[in-house]
Amino acid sequence: MNELNPVVWKLKPPSPSASQLAHEAGLSTLQAQLLINRGISTPTQAMSFLNPRLNNMADPMLMTGMSDALAIILKAIENRKKITIYGDYDADGLTATALLLNFFSSLGIQVSSYIPDRLREGYSLNSKAISEIAEKRTGLIITVDCGTTNAREIALAKTLGVNVVVTDHHQVPEDFQPQCPVVNPHQPGCPFPFKDLAGVGLAFFLTVAVRTALRETGWFRTRPEPDLKEYLDLVALGTVADRVPLLDQNRILVHYGIGVMAKSRWPGISAMKEVAGIANTEITADDLAFRLGPRLNAPGRMGDSRIGIRALTVHEPTLARDLALRINAANNQRQGVEQNILNQIEGVIESDEGIRDSRTIVMAGENWHKGVLGIVASRLVDKYHRPSLVLNIQDDLASGSGRSIDGFNLYQALTKLGPLFEKFGGHAHAAGFTLKAANLHTLKKELESLARKTLKDSDLVPAIEIDAEIPLDNISTEMIHKIRALSPFGEGNPEPIFFAGLLEVLESRVVGERHLKLRVRQGKSSYEAIGFGMADKHPLEGKTVNMVFTPEIDRWQGYEKIQLRIADMREPGSLKG
């Protein structure tokens, strides 16, 4: 196992139908090729993709359980019952909770929230929390991003006189029997046409349904009607942070949400943008994924998710600024704790030949902070390209998180090993679990056995999918704008990457200690290129390289210029795939 194994470059062949699609849809040939690479092959599909429209959103009432959920919610509103939003401590759960809190508050309805403590309570509903909520005279609990598998806790709520509505986007167990209205598109037979909404996306569809129903009853004849477009920045943040595919309904939500975020009505969003250094820049999906999302997640990981929910619901700018600074501090703390655990694990991996030759990584330690185990697992997958599980051992129990690669469905694997666990849950690429520490050895052995039956050697080598070969002479500002028309980029719609060969390196220098700055020339054109984290490749001046990259507009102090953001580089003749 070696993170220095060369990444495979896979150059997609030009599609013979690109010219026809370009002609029929009024696109450039490059745009047509990029769309075909993403499974979009007809003019109708292309226009729908390139022009997301809110009026193309699906009908919320198509979701199984929505009618029953709506009836209970409307009855609670009519009877002035207190509503509690029960969320999750990650960015998806926090934005979904904040969305419903802000929405119901705007209607003048008494509403509160409950976010479980990640370290003490863990994920989803628990009996102690249900009892506490019932004692505060709540009449209705609405879950977001959780609740599908909580039949026992829902039954307890009912015995305590509290109705429950579940909204959740996680997988439904095979023996699923709903104990209350459940809004989850993964339910068998659900006719809703898109299954990959984040929890906050489901919460948004719920607000659309509630607002429509209230409008039909005449509720807004004497009250202001909330503009749900103003909530789309929350939806975009949670959707991108949860890494669901940015396609179809999600693409529409994120496209409009990013626009709303530029002038967000929520002081906490504005303050978080400021501390993240993106207050005065054009917001992208990458900013949500790598700047705002991790910050919003950090307090919950470190043990206090209340900071995050307060930041998203506060109305006073000074307090919002204070909360944003506390969120930033928690993120800095999280990074330090995460790096410490990662260093320990990498030391073991590099010194143990048996681990280096395995197809999976399962690592456990005592006193490892449970809040960062998922991120550490992600870092291991990024570096070693193996399914990775990281666990904390406390007393006789081990609990942790896992992340996986394409070709190895982690949730299915854990299901096959179900008897080993006290509890587990998740999906193909991520999971959480608890088991007796005595079962750890068996888990390592059986997971490795499953991986050896499932994964080929080629699955363990990371690959860069290259959209097209482009000579530097063909790059222009206009071309870059045509590429950006495919944004927002993210899961399911990766940012386009291109190949150019035999580039002469005119200049090479290190910037910011870890980054490589080049000037490269091919033909009549030369451009600056930036390689983040590639300082170890310096010096390259005078050499010739093949490069895969994304062209972008670099803006600095009012000036704009074309820059190549390097994905990978190697000597000529080494394009693989």
Tens of pLDDT, residue by residue over 250-289, are 999 999 999 999 999 999 999 999 999 999 888 999 999 9
Domain with residue 494: its CATH number is 2.40.50.460
Shared domain check, 191 and 72: yes
Q: What average pLDDT does this structure show over 418-438?
A: 91
| Same-domain pairing of 518 and 425 | no
Cα distances (angstroms) measured from residue 30 to each of 203, 456, 478 = 37, 33, 12
Q: Has residue 575 got a pLDDT over 60?
A: no
| Res. 105: pLDDT tops 90 | yes
Residue 411 lies in a domain: yes
> How sure is the predictor about 118, in pLDDT bands with cuts at 50, 70 and 90?
confident
Q: Which of 397, 425, 456 is the last residue of a domain?
A: 456
Q: Assess if residue 39 is contained within a domain.
A: no
**Bridge pairing between strands 463-466 and 430-436:** unpaired
Q: How confident is the model at residue 425 (pLDDT cuts 50, 70, 90)?
A: confident
Q: Bigger pLDDT: 467 or 577?
A: 467
Percent of the chain with pLDDT over 90: 88
Helix (H) or strand (E) holding 237: helix 232-241
With 50 as the cut, is the pLDDT of residue 4 above it?
no
Assess whether 79 and 151 both reside in one domain: yes
In a domain, 3, yes or no: no
What is the structure's pLDDT at 547?
Answer: 97
Residue 541 resides in a domain: yes
pLDDT at position 555 is: 80
574 pLDDT higher than 60: no
60-69 average pLDDT score: 98
Question: Is 442 in the same domain as 479?
Answer: no
What is the band of 189 on the pLDDT scale with cuts at 50, 70, 90?
A: very high
- CATH number, domain containing residue 424: 3.10.310.30
Indicate whether 84 pLDDT > 80.
Answer: yes
**375-408 pLDDT, tens digit each:** 999 999 999 999 999 999 999 999 999 999 999 9
Q: Are residues 447 and 542 in the same domain?
A: no
Compute CA 85 distance to the chain's CA centroid, rounded to the nearest angstrom.
22
Average pLDDT over residues 349-377: 91
Mean residue pLDDT of the chain comes to 94
Give, in order, the Cα–Cα distances in Å from 22 to each of 33, 466, 498: 8, 20, 19
Arithmetic mean of pLDDT, 219-231: 96
24: pLDDT strictly greater than 90: yes
Domain count, the chain: 3
Residue 245 CA, chain-centre distance (Å), reads 9
Q: Does residue 511 lie within any of the structural domains?
A: yes
DSSP, collapsed to helix, strand or coil, labels residue 446 as: helix
pLDDT at 174: 80
- Out of 85-99, 237-251, 420-434, 542-556, which region has the weakest mean confidence (pLDDT)? 420-434
What mean pLDDT comes out for the span 440-462?
A: 95
Q: Is the pLDDT of residue 354 over 90?
A: no
C-beta atoms surrounding 251 within 10 Å: 21
The model's confidence at residue 352, banded by pLDDT at 50, 70 and 90, is confident
Task: Mark which of 426, 456, 486 sits at the end of a domain.
Answer: 456
Verify that 127 and 220 share a domain, yes or no: yes
Domain shared by 452 and 482, yes or no = no
pLDDT at 303 over 90: no
Give me the domain span that covers residue 225: 56-262
Domain-embedded: residue 394: yes
pLDDT band at 312 (very low <50, low <70, confident <90, very high): very high
* Ramachandran angles phi, psi of 7, nearest 5°: -70, 140
If one compares 441 and 353, the residue with the highest pLDDT of the two is: 441
What pLDDT score was predicted for residue 418?
Answer: 94
248 and 103, same structural domain?
Answer: yes
Would you say residue 393 lies in a domain? yes
The single residue listed with the structure tokens 């399962």 is 362
- C-alpha atoms less than 13 angstroms from C-alpha of 50 in its C-beta half-sphere: 23
Q: With 60 as the cut, is the pLDDT of residue 576 above it?
A: no
pLDDT at 281: 85
What does DSSP assign to residue 12?
Answer: P
> According to the model, what pLDDT value does residue 123 have?
84
Residues 378 and 451 placed together within one structural domain of the fold: yes
- Domain termination site, one of 262, 290, 309: 262
401 with 473, same domain? no
pLDDT at residue 52 is higher than 90:
yes
Residues 493 and 398 in one domain: no
Are 389 and 477 contained in the same domain? no
* 337 within domain boundaries: no
